[in-house]
């Protein structure tokens, strides 16, 4: 039996849609109200209960002061492997990237066919050049021998001419002079004899002892003898004035001519020697050039195989030449890649000697010194501490770039004591803690328990059913703990979290806008009201809004404020650093 409402008839679309949306909305609204109620009830009840993890008992002890920094790893020793060939090389074999190689392992092999052919051609050219050199050297030797022979001949001619001159001067000239003088004297004596005879013949003719004919013959003989005297005298004068001088000049000229001939021979052969020696030098230079070229080609042939000069990790150049966002249009080198001369192919960092390059702010860089100890954690081994020592601090700061142009960071190089088997690689991200010193036997509290409002630092201490603010004077600090010089005592309790506004029962008076101190008295607890109770305790209630008064702008954590203080002071102001949560 069916009722008057037929379930088989579909409901109107609009009515069915409104019903589903309304139900869903009601369910969501009820869930939100329940969650908000639970949160409000929990917030009210938290003022009366705190877990042990939220409080800390003040004690005296030691803690380390350190500066946190982050950066990346690099190798202390980095060897660049470039194409050593003078020409482009084609890779025939290359070791895989990421391979750990030892000194002497083969890294790259280039194609050798072209070099081997060039070596063969140059060897043939060298043989021709050597033969040419031998020919030129032999021609030079022949020319030198010819010059020596002709110079010796010229010297002999000079000696002969000089001897002829001396023979004439010391022999022929004297002999001829003596002969001519003798002829003159003989002629004179004969002339005198014949003259005397003729004079005697006169008387004999007159007396008739001799004939007239004999007399005439004596007269002719006398005339002839007188002529001979003149002839001999003339011969002597001609020889003395002309012939002897002519002979002397002729002999001297012969000597001069032979000397001049020797000089001409010497100059002619010297000119020939210059040409011959130049030809020999040219041939020798060509041989030397060919030998050097051949030696260079053989050396280039040896360079076709690149050997690892040291132990290291193979990194292709394309891995480090990637763009800022990891983009790189170059393909990694492989078999068949054409490499230009001196082009970088592989970087070989020595992973046994690693460096951590970390950045520190300008405010903290002045506190870091060479030789300070540090602890480094790499991203590959986040739980393994690596001991290190500060090597250097950069002289110049680096800008924060377009993200933060006002930021200035200094690079600190930390030499790491790497244990074998860690397999650290360059460019790995790392974080470090540079240890500045140790605070010994000091009252300290966790840094998350300290808050700041302007120049005032304070902590929360228990008071009745809530927490009261108490001003403290801070000393040295690390990223986890801070030294308290005044404000709390050993055994007291401080809160490690920021309480809810409903839990705060007493607040300290902060400095006003003009920087004048409030009514808080240093060295004591929070300011007291009438009857010795903490101010704002008992009958007073916090504002309905649940927010603290305007004079206390929810005091900042000391871990945040101290970063600004460290830029202004080194010793007197508290030394703090980021909390672990902020550091991450």
Using pLDDT thresholds of 50, 70 and 90, give the confidence band for residue 513: very low
Q: How many Å apart are CA 256 and CA 164, to the nearest integer?
A: 12
Q: Is the pLDDT of residue 556 over 50?
A: no
Using pLDDT thresholds of 50, 70 and 90, give the confidence band for residue 477: confident
CA distance 584 to 581: 5
pLDDT score of 36:
64
Q: Average pLDDT over the chain, rounded to whole?
A: 79
Q: Which of 198-202, 204-208, 256-260, 523-527 has the highest mean pLDDT?
A: 256-260
The pLDDT tens digits for 89-116 are 899 999 998 888 999 999 999 999 988 9
Q: Which SS3 state, helix, strand or coil, does residue 552 take?
A: coil
Q: What angle do CA 559, 561, 562 make, to 5 degrees?
A: 70
Higher pLDDT, 483 or 477: 483
pLDDT tens-digit readout, 161-199: 999 999 999 998 899 999 999 999 998 998 898 888 888
At 16, is the pLDDT very low, low, confident or very high (cuts 50, 70, 90)? Answer: very low
Query: What is the mean predicted confidence (pLDDT) over 481-489?
Result: 92
| pLDDT above 70: residue 320 | no
340-380 pLDDT, tens digit each = 999 899 988 888 888 999 999 888 888 898 999 999 999 88
Choose from 30-34, 497-501, 538-542 the range with maximum mean pLDDT.
Answer: 497-501
* Best mean pLDDT range from 17-26, 104-113, 310-319, 541-550: 104-113
Q: Is the pLDDT of residue 312 over 50?
A: yes
At 20 the pLDDT is 53
Q: Which are the contacts of 470, defined by CB distance < 8 A and separation ≥ 6?
A: 458, 459, 460, 461, 487, 488, 508, 525, 526
pLDDT given for residue 582 in this prediction: 36
Determine phi and psi for 186, rounding to 5 degrees.
Answer: -60, -45
Residue with more model confidence, 548 or 424: 424
Q: Whose CA is closest to 90, among 388, 249, 304, 373?
A: 304
Closest by CA position to 309, among listed 74, 82, 89? 82
How far apart, in whole angstroms, are the C-alpha atoms of residue 584 and residue 577?
13
> What pLDDT was estimated at residue 437?
85
Among 387, 381, 379, which Cα is nearest to 429's? 379
Q: What are phi and psi of 225, to 5 degrees?
A: -65, -40
Q: DSSP assignment of 13-36, as one string?
A: HHHHHHHHHHHHHHHHHHHHHHHH
pLDDT for res 323: 43
Q: What is the pLDDT of residue 454?
A: 85
Q: Which of 436, 447, 405, 375 is nearest to 70 (CA)?
A: 375
| Alpha carbons 235 and 415: distance in angstroms, whole number | 119
- pLDDT higher than threshold 80 for residue 151: yes
Contact 109, 90 (CB under 8 A): no
Q: Range with the lowest mean pLDDT among 69-73, 349-353, 503-507?
A: 349-353
Mean pLDDT across the stretch 140-159?
91
Overall average pLDDT of the 33-41 stretch: 58
d(CA 563, CA 67): 11
d(CA 536, CA 554) in angstroms, rounded, equals: 17
Indicate the pTM of the whole model: 0.50
The two structure tokens encoding residue 485: 């010089």
Q: Summarize the confidence of residues 454-465 as an average pLDDT.
A: 90
Residue 426 banded pLDDT, cuts 50, 70, 90: confident
User: What's the whole-number mean pLDDT along residues 35-61?
Assistant: 64
How many angstroms separate the Cα of 84 from the Cα of each of 193, 287, 289, 305?
Answer: 117, 26, 21, 10
Structure confidence at residue 361 (pLDDT): 87
First to last CA, the chain: 73
The fraction of the chain above a pLDDT of 90, given in percent, is 38
Q: For residue 575, which of 561, 562, 560 has the smallest C-alpha distance?
A: 562
pLDDT at 35: 57
Confidence of residue 529 (pLDDT cuts 50, 70, 90): very low
- The pair of structure tokens assigned to 324 is 């800022």
Contact status, residue 525 vs residue 468, Cβ threshold 8 Å: yes
Output the CA–CA distances (angstroms, integers) from residue 109 to 163, 257, 445, in the order listed: 81, 75, 64
Helix (H, G, I), strand (E, B) or coil at 549: coil
How distant, in Å, are the alpha carbons of 4, 17, 23, 129, 437 from that of 13? 21, 6, 16, 107, 77
Q: How many CB atoms lie within 10 A of CB 258?
A: 21
The string of DSSP letters for 388-414 reads EEEEEE-SS-EEETTTEEEEEEEEEEE
């Amino acid at each position: 039996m069916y009722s008057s409402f037929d379930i088989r008839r579909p409901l109107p679309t609009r009515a069915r849609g409104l019903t589903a949306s309304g139900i869903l909305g009601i369910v969501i609204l009820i869930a939100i109200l329940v969650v908000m109620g639970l949160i409000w009830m929990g917030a009210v009840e938290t003022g009366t209960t705190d877990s042990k993890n939220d409080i800390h008992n003040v004690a005296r002890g030691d803690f380390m002061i350190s500066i946190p920094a982050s950066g990346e790893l690099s190798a202390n020793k980095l060897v660049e492997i470039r194409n050593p060939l003078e020409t482009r090389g084609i890779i025939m074999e290359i070791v895989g990237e990421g391979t750990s190689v030892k000194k002497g392992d083969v890294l790259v092999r280039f194609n050798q066919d072209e070099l081997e052919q060039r070596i063969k051609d140059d060897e043939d050219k060298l043989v021709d050049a050597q033969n040419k050199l031998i020919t030129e050297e032999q021609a030079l030797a022949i020319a030198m021998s010819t010059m020596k022979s002709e110079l010796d001949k010229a010297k002999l001619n000079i000696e002969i001419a000089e001897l002829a001159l001396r023979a004439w001067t010391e022999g022929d000239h004297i002999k001829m002079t003596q002969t001519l003088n003798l002829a003159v004297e003989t002629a004179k004596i004969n002339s005198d004899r014949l003259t005397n005879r003729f004079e005697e013949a006169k008387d004999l003719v007159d007396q008739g002892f001799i004939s007239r004919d004999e007399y005439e013959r004596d007269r002719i003989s006398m005339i002839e003898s007188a002529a001979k005297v003149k002839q001999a005298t003339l011969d002597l004068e001609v020889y003395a004035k002309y012939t002897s001088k002519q002979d002397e000049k002729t002999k001297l000229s012969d000597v001069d001519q032979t000397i001049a001939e020797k000089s001409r021979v010497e100059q002619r052969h010297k000119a020939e020697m210059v040409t011959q020696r130049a030809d020999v030098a040219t041939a020798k230079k060509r041989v030397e050039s060919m030998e050097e070229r051949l030696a260079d080609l053989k050396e280039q042939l040896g360079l076709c195989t690149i050997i690892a000069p040291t132990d290291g990790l193979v990194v292709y150049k394309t891995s480090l030449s990637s763009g800022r966002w990891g983009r790189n249009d170059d393909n990694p080198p492989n078999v068949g890649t054409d490499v230009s001369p001196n082009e970088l192919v592989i970087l070989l960092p020595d992973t046994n000697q690693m460096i951590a390059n970390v950045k520190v702010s300008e405010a903290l860089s002045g506190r870091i010194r060479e030789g300070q100890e540090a602890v480094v954690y790499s991203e590959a081994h986040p739980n393994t501490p690596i001991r290190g020592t500060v090597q250097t601090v950069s002289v110049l700061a680096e800008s924060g770039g377009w993200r933060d142009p006002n930021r200035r960071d200094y690079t600190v190089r930390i030499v790491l004591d790497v244990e074998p088997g860690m397999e650290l690689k360059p460019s790995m991200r790392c974080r470090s803690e540079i240890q500045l010193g140790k605070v010994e036997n000091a009252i300290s509290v966790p840094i998350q328990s300290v808050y700041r409002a302007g120049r005032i630092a304070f902590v929360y201490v228990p008071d009745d059913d809530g927490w009261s603010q108490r001003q403290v004077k801070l000393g040295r600090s690390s990223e986890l703990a801070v030294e308290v010089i005044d404000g709390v005592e050993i055994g007291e309790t401080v809160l490690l979290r920021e309480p809810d506004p409903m839990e705060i029962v007493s607040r300290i008076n902060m400095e006003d806008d003009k920087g004048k101190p409030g009514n808080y008295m240093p060295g004591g607890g929070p300011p007291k009201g009438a009857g010795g109770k903490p101010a704002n305790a008992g009958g007073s209630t916090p504002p309905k809004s649940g927010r603290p008064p305007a004079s206390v702008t929810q005091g900042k954590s000391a871990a945040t404020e101290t970063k600004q203080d460290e830029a202004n002071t080194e010793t007197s102001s508290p030394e703090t650093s980021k909390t672990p949560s902020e550091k991450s």
